[in-house]
Amino acid sequence: MTLADTGPRVRPAAEAQLLDGLRTIGSDIAGMIPSDVPAAEFWTDRKLHYKLVSPLNRRKFTVIVVGTGLAGAGCAAALGELGYNVEAFTFHAAPRRAHSVAAQGGINAARGRKVDGDSLARFVKDTIKGGDFRAREVDAWRLAEESIRVIDHMDAIGAPFAREYGGQLATRSFGGVQVSRTYYTRGQTGQQLQVAASQALLRQVARGSVNLHTRTEMLDLIVEDGRAAGIVARNLITGEITAHTAHAVVLATGGYGNVFFKSTLAKNSNVTAAFRAHRRGAYFANPAFIQFHPTSLPVSSEWQSKTILMSESLRNDGRIWVPKTPGDTRDPNTIPEEERDYYLERRYPAFGNLTPRDVASRAARDEIVAGRGVGPLKNAVYLDFRDAIGRLGRKVIEERYGNLFEMYTDATGEDPYVVPMRIAPGAHFAMGGLWNDYDQMTSIPGLFVGGEAGWGYHGANRLGANSLLSACVDGWFTLPYAVPHYLADLLGSPKPALDAPEVAGALDDARGGVERLTAIGGTQGPDRFHRRLGDLLYQHCGVSRDGELLAEGIRSVQALREEFWSDLRVQGQTDGFNQELERAGRVADYLDMAELMCLDALDRDESCGAHFRTEHQHPDGEAKRDDENWRFASAWERGADGRYIRHQEPLEFVSVPLGTRNYK
């Protein structure tokens, strides 16, 4: 196999014409990374050179933090503890309801407590390779270094990590690695970490350093003199739209996987805060990099509103297989061993069922498309615990995965201790997000991002259990350094007055946007448009993509958006509680987000990680990168005329040299 494509293919004329009509090529951009410091030492060097704000001056600054998941709660709590005035916003009734609770399997850390060859360098190598060399290498080093502090910190503030008999914290393996570095709390890791982070946040609320706004959704970003200076938000109970100003703004609002409608995300998770910031000038990085989780529950009905995530940790003991004979409808327990195809173990013997998520999802899709799918709709594969139960006993499996098995039974009515689980790829995690430099600051000075709202750690595919880690690293150990560094130069500068022209203009824009939605007076509700958009994206920008499908997808999204703005029906009024209005605003953003996703996927004429273009694959069907032409992060700017400008951040790999991604 060659390392990469020999060169870009010749685009068909219609595809090239569509691209030229939608985007232009901009300039290279830098991520604030000096070339004279080794990647492994850069975070230590960067912290040494950050500007500081003295304790007596911190109370003079106000920071807005939007989102109270692991990244947002950690950031708000840490800044509050340091003495800054923090305004924290969440559309939930309480911070602990943020979607971080949904992560189940664990959180990675390179603490090296087991004698299995793990180290910081091994962690970085796995992360960069797992992201198919489309992440920022120095970010991966920071993730590895701070992972050690994250586990100790979360353990100290109350996360009940599983322990070995002797008292050491227990670990298990996750996809894309051959060591045991994942710390966990049964199948409730995200929930327990979120509870601990929320308690830390509420401690600062009680102390008066954090002012918490619940049931409040960000509608716009206030920009004054080119700097982020606050937000416009809507109270979801009263409908009141208000402005809130600050010296800096942090968006920790999660990912945009719900653009696919049927996703593993909570139904309220959305892209609105990030995309409204994008409209104000923040670049959006790699929007096409969407991960499809291989152990989601399959769609069982046309009218299903979402998919359900089953933890990747199940792949430690569950074996994935399909019948060798297409269309086999026998009870799985009656299918003999020789008539089963454990296809991941066959194709990837070194990693087996713990191949990375993008690889496992494509392999499952291949089996389903070939007619070997199982279940009533033939859209799933089996995840079987028969051998593990026979080897370890049911009690051990219950201790490791009991709540996950209960959840599966609640969702399907089937007992996974007796019959194999049925799983299928489902839209899950967004590796793309608002572009940010090494300090987590976007292209708008003063606007920072944390967690899944950013882009730098995961490249084109996230390794399992790195999501909770990246959110914690950003919230507790990156933003509390980077935000004060930015604020230090603003000492003595007041935050904008509420009657400033930029504030009033943003307020008017937000109110006008809400009124525009309710004034359409059409016949179709927002959920109908969202469902249609999701079906369109699964077909045109899903697990696999190609130029013709993507071009058709862009045109279909544009047509659906035009229909949305002419035939949307929003019942109720703009003032007061109105969930129909909430959903309408989010779907409007999803339609624009979908166009940008498809544009990015069409523009990036290579395969890498979860972005799999069928035109670019090795003879064995694996993704084929083009490092000569596409070794950069795409950062999209929205032009005043509606066209996009693609900027590029070149990516360098020194400590982990470029190589063919191989899990065999």
- Just list the catalytic residues: 357
CA distance 400 to 185: 9
> Which class for 502: exposed (0-12), middle (13-18), buried (19 or more C-beta within 10 A)?
middle
Helix (H, G, I), strand (E, B) or coil at 65: strand
How far apart, in whole angstroms, are the C-alpha atoms of residue 495 and residue 275? 24
Distance CA(499)–CA(505), nearest Å, equals 10
Buried/exposed code over 353-383 (b: 16+ C-beta within 10 A; e: otherwise): bbbbbbbbbbbbbebbeeebbbbeeebbbbb
Residue type, 30: A
Question: How far apart, in whole angstroms, are the C-alpha atoms of residue 66 and residue 216?
Answer: 10
The CA distance from 320 to 11, in Å, is 38
Between CA 329 and CA 324 the distance in angstroms is 12
Coil, helix or strand at residue 25: strand
Q: Are 159 and 100 in contact (CB under 8 A)?
A: no
> What is the rounded CA–CA span in Å between residue 452 and residue 442?
14
Which segments within 210-278 are labelled E, that is strand?
A: 210-213, 216-224, 227-235, 241-245, 248-251
Report which residue type is found at 643. R
* Nearest partner of 327 among 381, 371, 383, judged by Cα: 371
Quote the CA–CA distance of 455 and 458 in Å, as a whole number.
Answer: 7
Tokens at 492, concatenated:
């003595």
- The amino acid occupying position 218 is M
- Which stretches within 117-264 are classed as H helix? 120-130, 137-156, 189-207
CB 374 within 8 A of CB 311: no
H/E stretch holding 87 reads: strand 85-89
